[in-house]
Amino acid sequence: MGHHSPSDFNISTQITQLGRDTSRQAGFVNAPIYRGSTVVFPTVDDLEHNRAEFNYGTMGTPTIASLENAWSVLAGAAGTVLSPSGLGAISLALLTTLKAGDHLLMPDSVYRPTRNFCAGMLAKMGIETTYYDPLIGAEIASLFRANTTTLFLESPGSQSFEIQDVPAMTQAAKKQGIATIIDNTWATPIFFRAHEHGCDLSLEAGTKYLGGHSDLLMGLVSANDAWWPRLRKTYDLMAMLPGAEDCFLALRGLRTMHLRLKEAEQRGLEMAHWLQARPEVLRVLHPALPECPGHEIWKRDFTGSSGLFSLVLKPEFTKAGGANMLDHMRIFAMGYSWGGFESLIIPFNCADYRTATSWQPGGLTLRIQMGLEDMDDLKNDLAAGFDRLRAVR
Ligand SMILES: *Cc1c(COP(=O)(O)O)cnc(C)c1O
User: Ligand 1: distance of its center to the CA of 86 in Å?
Assistant: 5
282 and 224 in a common domain: no
Tens-digit pLDDT profile for residues 125-168: 999 999 999 999 999 999 999 999 999 999 999 999 999 999 99
365 and 233 in a common domain: no
59 and 188 in a common domain: yes
**Predicted pLDDT at 7:** 72
Q: In this model, does residue 230 exceed pLDDT 60? A: yes
DSSP 352: G
Average pLDDT over residues 304-316: 98
Of 140, 87, 155, the residue nearest 116 (C-alpha): 87
Contact between 168 and 175 under an 8 Å Cβ cutoff? The reply is: no
Quick check: is 295 in a domain?
A: yes
Does the beta carbon of 305 sit less than 6 angstroms from any atom of ligand 1? Answer: no
User: Ligand 1: distance of its center to the CA of 235 in Å?
Assistant: 19
Q: Is 181 left (phi over 0), alpha (psi -120 to 50) or beta?
A: beta
* CB-count exposure of residue 258 (10 Å: 0-12, 13-18, 19+): buried
**Predicted pLDDT at 6:** 58
Atom of ligand 1 lying closest to residue 208 CA: 1
Q: In this model, does residue 26 exceed pLDDT 60? A: yes
Average pLDDT over residues 85-91: 98
72 and 212 in a common domain: yes
> How are strands ordered across the β-sheet holding 179-183?
79-83, 219-223, 201-205, 179-183, 148-154, 103-107, 128-132
Residue ranges with strand state E in the chain: 79-83, 103-107, 128-132, 148-154, 179-183, 201-205, 219-223, 281-285, 308-313, 344-348, 365-369
Structural domain tally of the chain?
A: 2
Quick check: is 233 in a domain?
A: yes
Of 187, 181, 198, the residue nearest 161 (C-alpha): 187
Quick check: is 133 in a domain?
A: yes
8 pLDDT band, cuts 50/70/90, is confident
User: Ligand 1: distance of its center to the CA of 92 in Å?
Assistant: 13
Q: Which of 228, 253, 278 is the last residue of a domain?
A: 253
**Predicted pLDDT at 342:** 98
Q: What is the largest CA-CA distance in the chain?
A: 79
Does the beta carbon of 170 sit less than 6 angstroms from any atom of ligand 1? Answer: no
12 pLDDT band, cuts 50/70/90, is confident
Share of the chain above pLDDT 70, in %: 98
Q: Which domain, by its residues, includes 326?
A: 259-391
316 and 342 in a common domain: yes
229 and 125 in a common domain: yes
Quick check: is 1 in a domain?
A: no
Distance CA(200)–CA(4), nearest Å, equals 21
**Predicted pLDDT at 5:** 58
* 146: three-class secondary structure by DSSP: coil
Of 148, 196, 140, 183, the residue nearest 165 (C-alpha): 140
Does the beta carbon of 86 sit less than 6 angstroms from any atom of ligand 1? Answer: yes
The CATH number for 266's domain is 3.90.1150.10
> How are strands ordered across the β-sheet holding 281-285?
281-285, 308-313, 365-369, 344-348
158 and 294 in a common domain: no
Does the beta carbon of 216 sit less than 6 angstroms from any atom of ligand 1? Answer: no
What DSSP string describes 263-275?
HHHHHHHHHHHHH
Contact between 190 and 257 under an 8 Å Cβ cutoff? The reply is: yes
135 and 273 in a common domain: no
DSSP β-bridge partners for residue 365: 312, 348
167 and 71 in a common domain: yes
User: Ligand 1: distance of its center to the CA of 249 in Å?
Assistant: 17
Atom of ligand 1 lying closest to residue 336 CA: 1
The residue count of the chain comes to 393
**Predicted pLDDT at 2:** 37
Tens-digit pLDDT profile for residues 341-375: 999 999 999 999 999 999 999 999 999 999 999 99
Tens-digit pLDDT profile for residues 170-190: 999 999 999 999 999 999 999
Distance CA(292)–CA(284), nearest Å, equals 7
Does the beta carbon of 85 sit less than 6 angstroms from any atom of ligand 1? Answer: yes
Share of the chain above pLDDT 90, in %: 95
Does the beta carbon of 205 sit less than 6 angstroms from any atom of ligand 1? Answer: yes
Contact between 295 and 285 under an 8 Å Cβ cutoff? The reply is: no
Does the beta carbon of 217 sit less than 6 angstroms from any atom of ligand 1? Answer: yes
Of 84, 317, 285, 87, the residue nearest 203 (C-alpha): 87
The CATH number for 172's domain is 3.40.640.10
263 and 230 in a common domain: no
Of 186, 224, 218, 209, the residue nearest 64 (C-alpha): 218
Q: Which of 207, 230, 253 is the last residue of a domain?
A: 253
Tens-digit pLDDT profile for residues 273-288: 999 999 999 999 999 9
Q: Which of 197, 220, 253 is the last residue of a domain?
A: 253
195 and 72 in a common domain: yes
Ligand 1 site-directed mutation target among 83, 85, 87, most atoms within 8 Å of CB: 87
359 and 242 in a common domain: no
35 pLDDT band, cuts 50/70/90, is very high
If you average pLDDT over every residue of the chain, what do you get?
96
**Predicted pLDDT at 3:** 40
